[in-house]
Chains A and B, each alone.
Chain A
Amino acid sequence: MKLLKALHRQPMLIKVPALAALLMIVVSAVISERVLSRLSDNQHRHLSFVSDTFLDGLASALLPAVQRADVWEAFDAIDRAGRVYKAIKPETTVLADAGGRVLAANNPKAFPPLSMLPAQFTSRFTAGELLISDERQAAFVTKDVVQQGRHLGTIYSIFDISRQVQERKEILSTLIWTNCLLAALFAGLGYWSLRRLLEPVKTLSDHLRLAAEDEAREISTTEFPRKGSEFRPLFHGYNALVSAERERSQFEKQLHEEEKLASLGRLTSGMAHEINNPLGGMFSALDTLQRHGAKPEVRAKSVSLLKRGLSGIRDVVSSALLTYRPPKEPTALRPNDLEDIRLLLRPELRRKKLSLQWENSVRSEMAVDSTPIRQILLNILLNSIAASEAGGSIVCEARPAGDALQLTVEDDGPGLPKRILTFLNTDGPVSAPITDSAGLGLWIVKRLAGEMGGSVEANNLSAKGARISISIPLQREGLKDVA
């Protein structure tokens, strides 16, 4: 199992040629087996034929000797036959009479005349069949000497087939070597040619892998397959995709910047009011100071009013600055950062006569980047304000929840369109609904949340309105403290 898994994990560039090589080997093994089998058959048939011829000749020569039970003539004929035949080597030849008694043999010391042939000897033979014993490297044949239908005697012959066995071994060895060589050669060829064929695929898949890791690069023309390859259009297509993606990315950044400016624009009038509001009181305080400044209690009251007014202006200005000229490094979120947002939105709320139920449970510094958090909250609230009718109410809640910051905004407007709900709730790439300013703001929210590893959940409330909930996980690395 483990081995299979390990094999499966091999890159395609190894797997495919390896399979081809394996196929070659299997084919050549099958062919070798067939050849050997055929050779074996041929050898058997040849041996059978030659031994039959030998026995036929011998039987004919021995017939008179058998008829007369002439020991010497039988021996002489057997002895001569053994020397004459070159095709085969009869190691043992025995002539027995009809009763199984030896008449003569080529080695009478082993088979003396008049002795009975033991059953263990005769049982090794089968009439009409060539039997081969591989361990002894010998072939066993027998033939009856017959005249006028009468069985007069039997010839038993054992041939030494070591030469045939040797031949078979040599052929097997040659076959194996040749096949190994050919298989290696074909495997090599297959491997090389398949590699060449698959190289464009490898290039493409490498680039795609990089793209998945957000490092998409166009494929340089030096890595292109040659003209006419079916992969060439694919490469062109890929490069087109990458450049389109890059364009889009740049476009997005641009849009982000523009949206910032747009939301800045939306807030400008509110901000002007915020700054303007205390100005009237501050000028009248200055007047009072001018006229009655000698009186200490008048001085004290006017100064504190001026201080209050200027602080208010400073807060508005600094929040705007923080939003629109963010510090270069990520800074930890402090409770006041969220309060600033509330401050910025007060004019808009007042204008549309909306009430804001504000619940900020963030008591201490939190390890999340404050700038994008403020942007997110700002955008969602702006969106809710824009969607709400006059007299409506908005609920905004910010609380630490375990190892994340939870932001929730609810309004009682008409609810979010389905498209936007889908966009906000779906993880992964989805076409941005950048058709109007509301869609753009929420798109930026989703982007920023995604960048921080957070999640967005949006749904329309059963009665009226919409609810957007953001959860941002705390950062591991330390964030810079705000100065």
Chain B
Amino acid sequence: MNISVGNPSLNRRKFIAVSTAAGAAAVSPCPASAGSESFHFGLTPVFRSDDLELLEILQSFLEKQLQIPVKLVARRTYQEITSLLVSGQIHAAWICGYPYLQYRNLLSLVAIPVWRGKPLYQSYIIAGASSQAKSLADMKGKIHAFSDPNSNSGYLVTAARLAEQRIRPDTFFQKTFFTYGHRNVIRAVASGLAHSGSVDGYVWEAVAEAEPGLATQTKVIAKSEWLGFPPIACPKAIDDSEHIRKLKTALTEAQAGGPASTLLARLRLDGFTAPTADLYGPIAKKAELVRRLG
């Protein structure tokens, strides 16, 4: 801004007025309280947040694409991340289909990961490698590990399966517990802490490739139908903001061979795609089934 040399007192008043206005504009509350400071990206246990190298790769990719500092926010439970997202304390997060559905009025979908050619995944029911179990029915009266109460693949799918027979998980199994991590479900079943577990199929497959020693201590007993992949979501209020648009572009244009190749390879994803209309319909149905059982 040029300040012409003239009457000093008049110019000074002008300067103060302009800068105050600019300052006010800068400080005025937006739906996301961090204006141009940094971009907060939330991660749930879907993500392998124990893989620190992966986190660095993700952070540097996002920073490069968004041109501003990026802060990765990890929380133990889906609930916490969803709350942060809904309250606008983070700008975007990789959540699960189930929490998205629970808050679909307040959240917008940014992009859907593509895995093995489709934006779909399955929920696996796993047991120990030496287990004689052949189906979910064989798990009756035993200890079962879930990942998160708000996880689709790590809870809802199994609960809905049982709800079809009008059974609740805590009466079907001897005991259930939450491990708050898909990899943790694999650990629990592999160590024998639980006889069976419900786990994200994508995560199980990724672990089978990256840590075969761990995965081979378990075996997949049952697979669900193909369901919508855990999406990247953002608060509805900022879904048209510059950064969200940049994020959307960066993700949907990411492909092998480009700047995202390390990230995609690490995540074992093909890329990201724009959200489609009724991708999470089947999950909604399951949620309804479970809710009605009470």
Binding site for B on A (CB under 8 A): 70-72, 75-76, 79, 104, 107-109, 112-114
Q: Are B143 and A113 neighbours in the complex by a CB distance under 8 Å?
A: yes
| Residue contact B192 to A72, C-beta cutoff 8 Å | no
Whether A72 and B191, one on each chain, are in contact in the complex, defined by CB atoms closer than 8 angstroms, is: no
What is the CA–CA distance of A79 and B192 in the complex, to the nearest angstrom? 13
A109–B178 alpha-carbon span in the complex (Å): 19
Instruction: Say whether B175 contacts A72, CB under 8 Å.
Output: no
CB of B143 within 8 A of CB of A72, answer: no
Smallest Cβ distance from A260 to chain B, in angstroms?
Answer: 120
In the complex, chain B residues 166-209 whose Cβ is within 8 Å of any chain A Cβ: 174-175, 177-180, 184, 187-188, 191-193
Say which residue of B143, B177, B188 sits within 8 Å of A70 (CB atoms).
B177
CB-based contact A107/B175 at 8 Å: no
In the bound complex, CA of A215 to CA of B179 (Å): 106
In whole angstroms, how far apart are the Cα atoms of A71 and B184 in the complex?
12
Closest B residue, CB atoms, query A111:
B192
B184 touching A76, Cβ below 8 Å: yes
Of the A-B pairs whose beta carbons lie under 8 Å apart in the complex, a sample of 22, sorted by A's number, is: A71-B143, A71-B175, A71-B177, A71-B193, A72-B177, A72-B179, A72-B180, A72-B184, A72-B188, A72-B193, A75-B191, A75-B193, A76-B179, A76-B184, A79-B191, A104-B193, A108-B191, A108-B192, A109-B191, A114-B143, A114-B174, A114-B175
Q: Determine whether the beta carbon of B178 is less than 8 Å from that of A72.
A: yes
Please provide the 10 A-B residue pairs with the shortest distance between their CB atoms, ordered closest to farther: A109-B192, A108-B192, A108-B193, A71-B177, A72-B179, A72-B177, A75-B193, A108-B191, A113-B143, A114-B175
B residues 217-247 in Cβ contact with A at 8 Å: none
Q: Give A70 to B180 CA distance when docked, in angstroms.
A: 12
Chain B proximity of A83: nearest CB distance (Å): 12
Give the complex CA separation of A225 and B233 in angstroms: 109
Across-interface contacts of B174 in A (CB, < 8 A): 114
Measured between C-beta atoms, what is the minimum distance from A74 to chain B in Å?
9
Is B157 part of the binding interface, using a Cβ–Cβ cutoff of 8 Å?
no
Chain B binding site: helix, strand, loop or mixed by DSSP? mixed
Specify which chain B residues have a CB less than 8 angstroms from the CB of A75 in the assembled complex: 188, 191, 193
Contact B177 A112, beta carbon cutoff 8 Å: no
Check B145 for interface membership: any CB of A closer than 8 A.
Answer: yes
Give the residues in chain B near A104, CB-CB below 8 Å.
Answer: 193
Tell me which residues across on chain B come within 8 A of A107, comparing CB atoms. 191-192
Shortest CB–CB separation between residue A464 and chain B, in angstroms? Answer: 126
Give the distance in Å from the alpha carbon of A108 to the alpha carbon of B178 in the complex: 16
CB pair B175–A113 under 8 Å, yes or no, is yes
Residues of A with C-beta under 8 A to B191: 75, 79, 107-109
> Taking A75-B188, A75-B193, A107-B192 as contacts, is the C-beta distance between A112 and B143 under 8 angstroms?
yes
User: Besides the contacts A72-B178, A113-B143, what 19 more A-B pairs have beta carbons closer than 8 Å?
Assistant: A70-B177, A71-B175, A71-B177, A71-B193, A72-B145, A72-B184, A72-B188, A75-B188, A75-B191, A75-B193, A76-B184, A79-B191, A107-B191, A108-B191, A108-B192, A109-B192, A112-B143, A113-B175, A114-B143
Query: Complex: how many Å from CA A79 to CA B145?
Result: 17
- Minimum Cβ distance to chain A for residue B217 (Å): 10
Question: Which residue on chain B has the smallest CB distance to residue A75?
Answer: B193
Complex CA–CA separation, A107 to B192 (angstroms): 7
B91 to chain A, nearest CB (A): 30
Contacts of B192 in A (CB 8 A): 107-109, 112
A70 cross-chain contacts in B, Cβ below 8 A: 177
Give the most central of A72, A76, A113: most B CB within 10 Å. A72
A104 to B188, CA, bound (A): 11
The digit string for B6-27, where 1 denotes a CB below 8 A from any CB of A, is 0000000000000000000000
Task: Enumerate chain B residues within 8 angstroms of A79, measured Cβ to Cβ.
Answer: 187, 191
Name the B residues within 8 Å of A112 (CB-CB): 143, 192
Q: Which chain B residues border A109 with CB–CB below 8 Å?
A: 191-192
- With a cutoff of 8 Å between Cβ atoms, the chain A residues found around residue B178 in the complex are 72
Q: Which of B145, B174, B191 has the most CB of A within 10 A?
A: B191
Q: Cα distance A107–B174 when bound, in Å?
A: 19
Report Cα–Cα, A71/B177, bound state, in Å.
Answer: 7
Complex CA–CA separation, A71 to B193 (angstroms) = 8
